Amino acid sequence: MNIKSLQNWLRHSVRLISVVVAMVVLVGSIAWLSGMFESKIEPGWTQASGTELTDQPTDVVHEVEKSYVEEAVGTLKASSRMIVSSKLLATIDQITVSAGDEVDKGQVLIRLDDKEYQSRLAQANRALEAATANREQAEKQFTRMQTLIKQNAASRSDFDNASRDLQVTIADEAKAKQAVREAEVMLSYTTIVAAKSGRIVDRTAEPGDIAQPGQPILTLYDSTSLRLEAPVMEHLAVKLHAGDELNVHVDALDRTFPAIVDEIVPQADAPSRSFLVKASVPKSDDLYEGMFGRLLVPAGERRHLCLASDAVVKIGQLEFVDVVLPDNNIERRLIKSGQLGMPGRQEVLSGVDVGERVVLHQPADVTNE
């Protein structure tokens, strides 16, 4: 074997050894990362030992029966709402209220320019005076003709003409009186008053604007007619009746108000499978139309587990209890808690069984563990 062949053989041998070493290192690393060189825990349950109950106070997990409610989210709306507008085409002279004001029935809200309608009324009164004068003159003429016809000093046609003139003037006077009444009514429309007591919630015009018939100027609602309108699931709505007493919780005020069911719309909403329930709430200066509220609907009774709040140990976002086993050992279990019950009691959804004993901790122990 010459020198060149020997060099080639050595070069290939080094490459092969490098590949083999790299493969061995790779396999060793994978085995180490997978825990092949560490001791394993045999499968199965191993009871924790070393923690026994001493003189710690304990409590028993109870099963209780509790009424519960379901919430129906809704909005406060007024059953009595009114749009204030003008019946005339006229300039607005004055608006006496603003949004948020409370008004009484009969209170003046808006005054319109009434010069044109004052002139119409004056014209109608002058026409009535003329019609009255004509009627009085016709009555005198008719009375005179009655006297003359009895004395055979007038013809029958003259008497008939006097009678006809009297009837025409009476009709003209009645027409003039009607025109006066119409002018007075039109003039009264220039002063707009509140038809009922309520609260102003919107003002869409200002003095100087032209009021057009039917165009909204003010919006008000009766603050005593507020009610929560909420869709209630059909399995609960069918058990409700008009007059039932419920509660309404208003989140913005963090207060609960008594409510009475006024109306249940007798048609279910197909997509949501719910009925619209309207429950009236008492008048309050803190309640406004459009506020968010929750209708609390009784949903029956249910049984659940309950234990002392001092038994719950919180570690981060997790909750545990220390359960006393029959052999007096303590086992820590993960639980899922529910709502708070009476003061010092906690609803438990999972993790313990009824009748089991749990260890009570001092508040400092619960927070520091």
Tens digits of per-residue pLDDT, 117-130? 999 999 999 999 99
Q: 191 has which bridge partners?
A: 111
Instruction: Say what the alpha-carbon torsion angle 21, 25, 30, 35 is, to the nearest 10 degrees.
Output: 130
The contacts of residue 180 (CB under 8 Å, 6+ apart) are 121, 124, 125, 128
Q: Contact 236/299 with Cβ under 8 angstroms?
A: yes
**Res 50: pLDDT:** 45
Locus of tokens 């020198």: 3
**Res 248: pLDDT:** 93
Q: Does the pTM of the predicted model rise above 0.85?
A: no
The one-letter amino acid at 124: A
**Res 13: pLDDT:** 78
**Res 179: pLDDT:** 93
Low-confidence ranges of the chain (pLDDT < 50): 45-50, 364-369
Tokens matching residue 329: 């050992």
Secondary structure letter of residue 213 according to DSSP: B
Report the alpha-carbon distance of residue 292 to residue 75 in Å, rounded.
5
**Res 122: pLDDT:** 94
Q: Coil, strand, or helix at residue 43?
A: coil
**Res 367: pLDDT:** 43
Tokens matching residue 16: 């092969």
Measured in degrees and rounded to the nearest 5, phi and psi for residue 323 equal: -95, 135
Q: Contact 336/350 with Cβ under 8 angstroms?
A: yes
Q: Which of 119, 125, 109, 104 is nearest to 181 (CA)?
A: 125
